[in-house]
Each structure stands twice: as structure tokens, then as C-alpha cells.
Amino acid sequence: MSQAAVSSPQQLTFWQKVQIWWTFFQVSINERLVYRGDFMIGTLMRFLPTLTQIFLWWAIYDVVAQTGSDTIASYRYGDMVAYYLMVTIGRAFSSMPGLTSGIANQVRNGEIKKFLIQPIDMQGCLLVQRIAHKLVYYLIATLPFALVFFLCREFFIDGWPSAEVSMVFFASLILGFLLGFFMESAIGLISFWFLEVTSLTFIYMLFNFLLSGHMFPLELLPESPVNIRAFVEFLPFKYLAYFPAAVFLGKVDGPEMYRGLAIEASWVLFFIIVSRIMWLRGVKRYSGYGG
């Protein structure tokens, strides 16, 4: 398939693009609701790892209490529980299950041709699809989340943050969603050069799990003799889970809060540019026959 045969989304007017995205959005909503029983059970089961972490840290703090201390890296047990609950929300926005493997499969089996012979932008449609899936997830998960937060309300000692902090928190969640999407999209597009990206996906998920703050607060990372925390702070992973939680809990405030938000927006822009360049270069070297 030559590049000349590729239809360009730029040929469409903005209104026509909006109509295509709206159609994809509706189809994606219906697609997610087809197996709603399975989806609801899967959504509820995502709370189990959080409960496991809460009980694990309860056991750790019980041991620490025997030394006469009730804090670990400025976190009391209540702070730690509140942190994990907020990290769960951050992960709900930034995680993109199946995105990387989905793109790789489409490149490998030729399904990606449908985006090359029609004036439809693949990444735009995938982004709309993810927005639809997330909306369904939030609608279903709202009640379980509300119940868990109500039962654990005593751990949020400082209560709901100010309007200013709340706005930064929600902005960091939205940017975290975009960052997670374009990071995983870029990894999936590597399949234009290497058809199998399973190992790369595994490495990404490993770093994501360890360095995003999902497993433990980044304050627990050592600063000596090797300042690992400074290195992790430089990477984009912390904006997928740690940063929104830290903003909500007041671990990051003032100018540092806005500086973090600006850096997060910069990472989003960086991965948008990277993924767009990879897409444009990838379709130039792609060859599809038959079908």
C-alpha cells in the first residue's frame, strides 16, 4: 500500500471530524455496555489490590509501633491509607489496559489498513474510544468508590482540600489520562518497526508499577548514598499516580504544585509529538497486501 493511497484526515472539515469522533464515542459506549455484567465485576475486583495494600501497611505500622514511632517518611498509617485511596483514583484515569497490545495487533494482522484507506485518524479515534470507556468505568465505579471513601473518611484528617487545590488535582488527573494514553500509544506504535512489543510492554508496566507511586509513596525512596528519588522525580511515571495523590493530600503545595502541573503538561506535549512523529513515519514504511 503506497503512501499516495493513504487518505488524509486533514482533508475533512472540523465539523466532519467531530461527527466521526461522536460516532466512535457512541459505538465505544455501546461496546463497553455489551458485557456490562463482566465489566461491573471486573471494576469491583479492582478494589481488592487496594484493600490488600491497606492491610499490608497495617501490619508494617504495627511492627514500626513497637519501636516507639508511628510514622514512616512523614506518613502515619491514616495518611498511608488516604494515599492509596487517592492513588487508586489516579490509576483509574491513567491506566490504559490493552492499548499497546491492541495497536501492535492491528499493525501485525493488518487491521490498521482501515485507518489508512479512510480519512480517519487512528490516534484520535482511539483517544475518543478511551474517553468513552473511562466514562462508563467512572459511572459504574462511582458508588463503590463513594462507599469506600465514606468508610475511610476518618483517614482524611484535613478533609476536602481548597477549591484551588481541587482544581489542580482534577487538572492533574486529566493530564495523567492524556499522559498514560500517549505514552502507551507511542510504545504500541513501535510495532511498525518491531512487530512484537510484548516484552517492551512488560518493561513499561514494571517501571510504571514501581516508579509511579502505585506501590509505595515516592518519599520512601532513598536519597543517599545514591539519590534514586531525584532520578525518579525526573521521569514522567510519577504523574500517573503519585502526583495527583500528593496534590490532594497537601504533600505538594504552593509554587511546587504549579511547577509539577506545568512539567506534567510538558510531558503530555512531548509524548503527543513523539507519538505523532512515530505514526507518520510508521505508515510510510508499512506494507499491507490483500484483504
Beta strands in the chain (DSSP E): 71-72, 75-76
Crossing angle of helices 99-109/163-189, nearest 10°? Answer: 30
Give me the pLDDT at residue 32, please. Answer: 77
Q: Residue holding cell 510495532? A: 191
Is 19 part of any domain? no
Best CA proximity match to 246, nearest among 208, 209, 218, 220? 218
Q: What amino acid occupies position 208? A: N
Is 5 part of any domain? no
Burial class (CB in 10 A: 0-12, 13-18, 19+), 144: middle
Is 112 part of any domain? yes
Give me the pLDDT at residue 160, please. Answer: 81
Which residues, 6 or more positions from 48, have their beta carbon under 8 angstroms from its beta carbon? none
Is 51 part of any domain? yes
Is 28 part of any domain? no
Is 190 part of any domain? yes
pLDDT confidence band for 177 (50 / 70 / 90): very high
Domains identified in the chain, total number: 1
Is 283 part of any domain? yes
Is 31 part of any domain? no
Give the tens place of pLDDT for each residue, 68-99.
Answer: 888 888 888 888 889 988 998 898 899 898 89
Give the tens place of pLDDT for each residue, 145-154.
Answer: 888 888 888 8
Give me the domain span that covers residue 119.
39-288
Question: Residue 5 pLDDT more than 70?
Answer: no
Q: Residue holding cell 462508563? A: 136
Give me the pLDDT at residue 290, please. Answer: 62
Best CA proximity match to 99, nearest among 9, 43, 180? 180
pTM to 2 decimals? 0.87
